[in-house]
Structure 1
Amino acid sequence: MNIGLVPMRDQAVPVLGGAHDSDGWDVDTPWHFHDMHQLLHATAGSVDVEGAEGRYRIPHQFAAWIPAGTVHRTRIQKVASGSVFLSAELVPPPVAGARLRVIRAPALLREMMAHARRWPLGSGEDAARRAYFACMASLCPDWLADEVELVLPTGEDPRVERAMAVTRDALATITLAEVCRESGLSERSLRRRFLAEAGMSWEAYRRRLRIHAAIAMLDGTDRTVGAIAAEVGYENQAAFAKTFREAVGMAPTDYRNTKRRPAA
């Protein structure tokens, strides 16, 4: 795998922070890493980021935190989105961590990211700019503590990969017995291998896949919540809403409504 550094600032004229606008872009990057921390946020729809732990779908009410030096790749399909890059010195390693994560994006974070477009990367630095990004950095410990689990793990074991693919292809109706048959594993072996490879049970993986699929439909269609619940495999809307709230932190209807009104 060819992994390259994508520098985000001129080392001869370092800056504390800057914005990078990718609104409307169709982006599918190779594996790479940056010399600055990155906060990536979609103001509508979702963006996809993949790291060592797996793939993350990041809806508009959340943001990706990608520490400096963290290898990743990004997919943005013509949605409104942008990034803020912060100097690695502003957010030290104990706070920044060494892995990609998904965090909630409260109104303050969203508004500050929007205002940061005033200072695009590559432009000159002044006192106001330095103060602004230093302020953002000071808020990062609280923001980074509010992590949500939206990662979809990947696997290298061919049979586990087959189990994952079968689950994705028949998400609404798939059963463990069918997955075992398609992957050529006994239930005991599948459970053992899946947990070792993915870090979660097959049932947890299927549940997270269903949430990802539901997010895409809430963002991209006008289907009712009940119809979406059925399409991703839930027999009743109440069970779906409970699982969605546990994963995302809000009910499906509230999530959809946040896209239709400006941040408070």
Structure 2
Amino acid sequence: QQAAWIPAGLEHQATMRPEVRTVAVMFDPELVRHGGDRARILTVSPLIREMMLHSLRWPIERADGDTVSDDFFSTLGHLVSEALDHEAPLSLPTSDHPIVGAAMDYTKAHLSSVTAAQVSHAVAVSERTLRRQFEAVIGISWRTYLLHARMLQAMALLAAPDQGVQQTATAVGFDSLSAFTRAFTKFAGESPSSYHRRITTS
């Protein structure tokens, strides 16, 4: 439920997993006037998501003077501009380091209950080595990586209209709803219930 905003003229390279389906919408810079000059990660509301999918009906080289498509992309541009005001806090770092990369994969696959001991066992190193490698390779601790992974997964889950906050907290490894609410609010700048309401009613 996220999208990358890449402003016109910014040189970039994207790497996609083969099983991932992506949709790219290219805007005239005039349609998103405050897009800035850097790439950003945005939370995608159900409305923006459906409009992006619907935009596939028009080819990139669409005819000039098509008022329906002009109005459609103008509206989508306004919604994207609004979404840029709610930039997602971050995306998770990646690594080609054999130990750190494997530890990341294991952590993301077991967010609801993973421990440092389990990850260390899975990648065949000590907990001390795991902590040292994370901080040396990506500059943050494994525990911080785990928290960020849980928060980003929570944001993705809460984008579903029928997803509850308690259900989300449990899914990402929090036994206490109050602890989850504190962690999410610190990370995202708003409470999980507020985030859920804003995203699902946009």
Same fold judged by TM-score > 0.5?
yes
- Find the counterpart in structure 2 of residue 212 from structure 1: 152
- The answer to whether the 8 A contact 1:241-1:252 is kept is yes
Identity across matched positions, percent = 31
CA distance 1:199–1:66, shift in 2 (3 Å): farther
> Conserved in 2, the CA contact under 8 Å of 1:148 and 1:247?
no
Structure 1 residue 193 corresponds to structure 2 residue 133 = yes
The structure in which a higher percent of residues are helix is 2
1:175 matched to 2:119? The reply is: no
Q: Structure 2: how far apart are the matches of 1:237 and 1:172?
A: 14
Q: Which residue of the other structure, out of 54, 57, 62, is the alignment partner of 1:123?
A: 62
**What is the identity, as a one-letter code, of the residue corresponding to 1:123?**
R
* C-alpha contact (below 8 Å) 1:103/1:143 kept by paired residues: yes
Counterpart for residue 197 of structure 2: 257
Q: What does the per-residue CA deviation read over 1:2-33, in whole Å, with 9 as the maximum and x for residues that have no partner?
A: xxxxxxxxxxxxxxxxxxxxxxxxxxxxxxxx
| Structure 2 CA distance for partners of 1:212 and 1:90, relative to 1, 3 Å | closer
Q: Structure 1 CA distance, aligned partners of 2:93 and 2:105?
A: 12
Code of the aligned partner of 1:96: D
Judged with a 3 Å threshold, the aligned counterparts in structure 2 of structure 1 residues 96 and 206 are, in CA distance, closer, same or farther, namely same
Cα distance in 2 between the residues matched to 1:165 and 1:260: 29
Distance 1:87 1:227, change over 3 A: closer
- 1:11-26 equivalence runs, <5 A: none
2:92 to 152, 164, 174: 152
Corresponding residue to 2:180 among 225, 229, 240: 240
Matched to 1:154, the amino acid is T
Which letter does structure 2 place at the counterpart of 1:85? Answer: M
Quote the Cα distance in structure 1 between the aligned partners of 2:199 and 2:29: 32
1:245 alignment partner, SS class: helix
Measured in 2, the distance between the counterparts of 1:241 and 1:251 equals 6
CA contact (8 A) 1:176 1:187 kept: yes
- Residue 165 (structure 2) aligns with: 225
Question: What secondary structure, in the 3-state scheme, does the structure 2 residue paired with 1:177 have?
Answer: helix
2:48 paired with 1:85: no
Equivalent residues of 1:65, 1:103 under 8 A apart: yes
Unaligned runs of 5+ in 2: none
Name the TM-score, length of structure 2 as normaliser: 0.66
CA–CA distance in 1 between the matches of 2:31 and 2:157?
A: 38
Who is 1:96 aligned against?
37
User: TM-score, structure 1 length as denominator?
Assistant: 0.53
Kept after mapping to 1: 8 A contact 2:165/2:193: yes
Displacement of 1:105: 7.8
Give the number of the structure whose residues are more often strand, by fraction. Answer: 1
Displacement of 1:144: 6.2
Residue 17 of structure 1 corresponds to none
1:161 paired with 2:105, answer: no
Cα displacement string for residues 57-108 of structure 1 (whole angstroms, at most 9, x for unaligned residues): x1xxxx521244311148448xxxx7552468999xxx523x5x214789xx
Mapped to 2, the partners of 1:197 and 1:153 lie a distance apart of 10
3-state secondary structure, aligned to 2:5: strand
Distance in 2, Cα, partners of 1:85 & 1:202: 37
Partner amino acid, structure 1, of 2:26? F
Q: Which runs of 5+ in 1 are unaligned?
A: 1-45, 47-57
